[in-house]
Structure 1
Amino acid sequence: MVEPITIVGAGPSGLLLAHYLLQHYPAYQVRIYERRRDPRQVEFSKVRTFPLTLSARGMHALQQVDGLAEAVRAITQEMQGSVMHPQRGKPKARRRAQPLLTLDRTQLAIALLDELTRRYSPPRLQVEFECECQTVDFARQTLTLQPAAAPQKTVRYEVLIGADGANSQIRQQMSLQEGFECETQIETNAYKSLVVALENVPEWVDLRPGYLHSWQLATGGVVLMLDRGDGTMAGVLHFPREQRQVRDLGSAQEVLQFFQTYCPELGAVMGEADAEAFAQRPVSEVVSVRCNRYHQGDRVLLMGDAAHAVSPSLGQGCNAALEDVVVFGELLAEAQGNIREAIAQFTVRRQADAVALLELSNYAFPRQKRLLIEFFARQAIAKWLHQVWGGGFPPPMFQLLSDPMTPYSEILERYRGWIDRVKRVQVSGG
């Protein structure tokens, strides 16, 4: 018996879920609707993207599908450490004990999509890009969709997965239903994606590959860049959301002047085409999301950022979104493939960890310089004690965050005293 599954959103969590369902359950047929263009058909410099770190937690999720972790790993770069570029003086490099896997979000989505469309075809898989979900009628089990080049249409669903990101339309429609509560918060920083071709790099510019490069700007912004291994660097410029300076950069010359003034190394490398692309790229907001449930009845479910978006401070947003598929897969196995039963249980199984990650992301890194110094000192001591005494002392936070066997809720409990202390200081303004 055929079981149709509708997924709104072709981001990492939606695509991984499609892989999982199609591999493990032959009866499922998956249809995906995505409001953006097919990323494989868009020039990379025009794509809204940002760098990601895939920890063991995220890779464990990819390993649930045969060969997928290997396909993704093949396009990642090993991040050996970081290079901080001060406003004055020489860059300072720090090497990590264990490298991290890095790539940008668009690369990850393309890899998952390529593998998905290579392995499956209609009727088991159908993917429709430039098709925006506008409304959901939960009683009639229908979606109203607006394709870019066709009239509006209404389609029926049996099971609906909202994997459409932090600004989820599925979640917005659920918010109109009785009993559903959702709190969204726009973070203090916004960002713009940045891509720079590494052509004619001056000798004095240190952009060594395999390292995360960061610049703390005098304007209050931060630039983070990674070598993509194809002759370009990609990253983001984070800046205070209310600041007009970055938002008002409207021409290539204005962009070049900005980077030459505040980030000379990138300014010396950036070409006019890169600057023009940056000027035309939209500003993106960073949104955190907290919901009292992730399901609507037993036919509709939110996953990934649609359910629990967090700030990028700990680098866990994508890893957590991918891990949602692991959790859902466990529930499906327990329910012997009954997807409606798994949907009804997902909130119970996942919410404590999602809420814990939100709290960790908001408060693990204090804004006060004194507490921030103390935090890193504590982490260095924890790392040393764990190396010397092993199980007698728990690993530092970042090691725990990477471990797929350690729930986020357990990490929060271990660091509850620290989190509460940071909260008190931030509330008091101390």
Structure 2
Amino acid sequence: MKYFVDLRKNSLATGKSINLALSNRARKAMRIVGLEEDVLSTTVHMKGRYIHELSGNDYFLPYDPVHKQNLYSINRNRLNSVLLTAAEDKFNVNIFFEYELVDADLKKGIVHFKNLRTHEVIEKTSKLIIGADGAHSSLRNIIQQQDRFSFSQKYIEHGYVELIIKPTEGKLLDMNAFHLWPRRTFLMIAIPNPDASFTVTLFMSFDKFKKLNNSKLYLQFFDENFPDAINLLGAKQITEELPLKKPRYLVSIYCRPYHFEDKFLLIGDAAHAMVPFYGQGMNAGFEDCTVLNQLLDLHNDDFAKVIENFTNVRNEDARSICELAMYNYKEMSSYTLNKSFRLRKCIDELLYSFMPEIWIPLYVSVTFSDMKYKKCIENRRWQDKVIRTMLWILSILVITFSFIYYYLTMNNV
């Protein structure tokens, strides 16, 4: 793990700030270690998506209209602070800041860290070393030099910049909703904070960002595409601050295996980084902890069996959620504008209300259950097949009854 500073003591600590959306998988992991209530106390619950169409035809789509389950918005630094404090106070964990991993002897289970202040390199040995050091994992970079380690990464053509809606303007929006401005090839989102402010993220192709190279073009862009957001963000932020922001990259990462022998293991983004459009990156990372904990119990803390089994159990599910995250960008930016999408959502909600144990919509299964991600996709494909069959049967019935009606009418029966 690499922290340059203790963000609990340094208010200037920076990093990614897209708010995180806590859902069932992360909550389950926190519940196991007794942290769920502490974490939820600092969140804002979100009941669904509030869609802002360019036409001004705004509408609300609940996440779970049947059981009324919510997502919970939390600031990334706030969550990290809670977890760091709990690790120190409750779990006898020692945390060292301002160190980075520079090398490892995989065969011997030895790692080397460099002090970022003194540049001194220290050596540590352990029976099991877990790398949870993010998408650009230093430990994974070392492990992937070994034979038969599969690795791929994909940067998408879209990047993002972050803005803020201040509390005074934020009070004009529904505080318990995930706000979404879909515009087919780009989109903007706003996620609530406890102080009534909103963290805003604009996702767009790098080519589009490059073309908007001055204040006048940005203001024109917002006037044409997000006219209702200008007063929320303020013209000054759009014209003076936004042109100075450099878009950040978004990457998906796949690798296999997640371990090296019985000494090293990768979890979270180090093993399976994904784009943020399903809100499952952090939730999947916490679920890694749940799965690892279950395997430790199952194999009586036999690390050799546990970490090999972890790769086998987790790899395909992780790949599945990475693919779903890519799909959900299309859903948020484009599909939500289609009438067919809303019709399908109505069908899902109707069947879900009558058969909640059988018919679980894709979003509900991913976000509000612990169903395996692969199973979520398989379940969706089954549902698609059922609906296609129902529509085919309905079409046959309509044609048949139309023919009978025509025949009876022509023969004056």
TM-score normalised by L of structure 1? 0.76
| Contact 2:167–2:195 (Cα < 8 Å) also in 1 | no
Partner of 2:174 in structure 1? 208
1:182 pairs with 2:143: no
What corresponds to 1:227 in structure 2?
192
The one of 266, 291, 294 aligned to 1:302: 266
1:69 counterpart letter in structure 2: E
Taking the aligned partners of 2:338 and 2:103, their CA distance within structure 1 comes to 44
Of 240, 255, 260, 1:291 maps to: 255
Whether the aligned pair in 2 keeps the contact of 1:35 and 1:133 (CA below 8 Å) is no
Asked if structure 2 preserves the Cα contact closer than 8 Å seen for 1:45 and 1:195, the reply is no
> Contact (CA 8 Å) 2:178, 2:190: kept in 1 or not?
yes
CA contact (8 A) 2:20 2:74 kept: yes
**Where does residue 290 of structure 2 map in the other structure?**
326
Distance 2:245 2:119 in 1: 28
Q: Decide whether the 8 Å contact of 1:45 with 1:277 is kept in 2.
A: no
Alignment of 1:332-343 (within 5 A): 332-343=296-307
Distance in 2 between the 1:247 and 1:154 partners?
Answer: 47
- Note if contact 1:59-1:69 (Cα within 8 Å) is conserved in structure 2: yes
- List aligned pairs for 1:126-145, cutoff 5 A: 126-145=94-113
Q: Which residue identity does 1:168 align to in structure 2?
A: S
Please state whether the residue corresponding to 2:190 is helix, strand or coil: strand
Name the CA shift for 1:370/1:43 in 2 (closer, same or farther; >3 Å): closer
1:27 is aligned to none
Q: 1:419 to 1:372 in 2, by over 3 A?
A: farther
Query: Which of the residues 34, 45, 49 maps onto 1:78?
Result: 45
Structure 1 gaps of 5+ residues are 1-7, 9-33, 421-430
Residue matched to 1:63: 31
1:98-130 Cα deviation digits (max 9, x unpaired): 23222232322222123223335xxx4222233
How far apart are the structure 2 equivalents of 1:152 and 1:369? 53
User: Does structure 2 retain, via aligned residues, the 8 Å contact 1:46–1:277?
Assistant: no
Residue in structure 2 matched with residue 107 of structure 1 by the alignment: 78
Distance in 2, matches of 1:117 and 1:290, equals 32
8 Å CA contact 1:360, 1:419 repeated in 2: no
Structure 2 distance, partners of 1:41, 1:282, is 27
In structure 1, distance between residues paired with 2:202 and 2:116 = 30
- Which AA in structure 2 matches 1:292? R
Give 1:407's match in structure 2, choosing from 368, 372, 378: 372
CA change 1:246–1:142 in 2 (3 A) is farther
Which residue of structure 1 lines up, in the alignment, with residue 408 of structure 2?
A: none
- The whole-number CA distance in structure 1 between the counterparts of 2:28 and 2:366 is 13
Give me the CA root mean square deviation: 3.4
Superposed CA deviations along residues 26-78 of structure 1, whole A, max 9, x for unmatched, are xxxxxxxx244333244479542112222222211111102x00011101111
Residue of structure 1 in register with 2:391 after alignment: none
CA displacement at 1:304 relative to structure 2: 0.7
**3-state SS of the aligned residue for 2:16?**
coil
Q: Secondary structure at the match of 1:237?
A: strand
Q: Distance in 2 between matches of 1:47 and 1:142?
A: 29
Q: Is the CA contact (8 Å cut-off) linking 1:46 and 1:281 kept in structure 2?
A: no
Q: Is 1:378 aligned with 2:344?
A: yes
Give the letter aligned to residue 413 of structure 1. E
Matched residue SS, 1:230: coil
Distance 2:6 2:239 in 1: 24
Aligned length: 377
TM-score, structure 2 normalization: 0.79
How does 1:3-402 map onto structure 2 within 5 Å?
8=1, 34-43=2-11, 46-66=14-34, 68-89=35-56, 91-96=58-63, 97=65, 98=68, 99-120=70-91, 124-158=92-126, 159-199=128-168, 201=169, 206-216=172-182, 220-245=185-210, 262-270=225-233, 283-363=247-327, 374-391=340-357, 393-402=358-367
Instruction: Give the Cα separation in 2 of the matches to 1:46 and 1:128.
Output: 18
3-state SS of 1:285 partner: coil
Could you give the per-residue CA deviations for residues 228-287 of structure 1, whole angstroms, max 9, x where no partner exists? Answer: 1224221322111343348857x9x99778656754444334466898776666532211
Fraction of identical pairs, as percent: 25
SS in 1 for 2:32: coil
Asked if the contact 2:53–2:182 (Cα under 8 Å) also holds between the matched residues in 1, the reply is yes
